């Protein structure tokens, strides 16, 4: 499991790097600026470098708001990372269209889920959501990801995050077959 072990995934990211995401809709590239949110940049770098996002689904796509991903398709990997929390970063950038940010459930609760802002969501800034990068190429691809399922359960009819964690892609393929997915994510420029 090597690179999938949270305790072994602590390499410091380069000051600026790019990650390419090849998806079922096409490719997009994220440019990360470590100084914006160092802890978030480091976590993202390690996750991408070790293939964590490969095969993951874009399970929460809300037009005019966000595209969210970061729960692995393998429940065993999800179990290892589910409680691998890391400290918050100060918010130095704004959650405007194209910025990528870690999802959080409260102070110091970030793990592996990230979202790309599909609109200017500056209200998220005051809530502690710290962008660490931006979509540098392919924002049109991000905007085309399947959004037909809406908000996740229980607030909507989309996928329930707890079930994604415990059942993985088997649950998503069975009940939400139209979700787009990441074929491969890789560091392309460091």
- Residue 163 counted as domain residue: yes
- Residue 3 counted as domain residue: no
Residue 51's domain comprises: 12-189
- What would the pLDDT profile of 46-75 be if each residue is shown by its tens digit? 999 999 999 999 999 999 999 999 999 999
- Cβ–Cβ under 8 Å, residues 14 and 190: yes
CATH at residue 73: 2.40.100.10
- Residue 161 counted as domain residue: yes
- What would the pLDDT profile of 89-136 be if each residue is shown by its tens digit? 999 999 999 999 999 999 999 999 999 999 999 999 999 999 999 999
- Residue 2 counted as domain residue: no
Number of domains observed in the structure of the chain: 1
Checking if the pLDDT of 3 tops 50, the result is no
């Amino acid at each position: 499991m090597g690179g999938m072990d949270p305790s072994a995934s602590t390499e410091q990211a380069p000051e600026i790097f790019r990650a390419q995401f090849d998806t079922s809709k096409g490719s997009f590239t994220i440019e990360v600026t470590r100084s914006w949110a160092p802890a978030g940049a480091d976590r993202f770098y390690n996750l991408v470098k070790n293939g964590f996002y490969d095969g993951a689904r874009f399970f929460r796509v809300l037009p005019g708001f966000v595209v969210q991903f970061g729960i692995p398709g393998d429940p065993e990997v999800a179990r290892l990372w589910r409680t691998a929390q890391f400290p918050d970063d100060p918010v130095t950038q704004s959650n405007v269209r194209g910025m990528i940010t870690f999802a959080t459930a409260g102070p110091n609760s970030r793990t592996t889920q990230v979202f790309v802002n599909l609109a200017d969501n500056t209200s998220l800034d005051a809530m502690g959501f710290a962008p660490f990068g931006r979509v540098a190429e392919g924002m049109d691809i991000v905007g085309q990801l399947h959004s037909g399922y809406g908000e996740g359960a229980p607030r909507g009819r989309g996928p329930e995050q707890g079930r994604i964690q415990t059942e993985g892609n088997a649950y998503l393929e069975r009940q939400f077959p139209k979700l787009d997915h990441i074929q491969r994510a890789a560091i392309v420029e460091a």
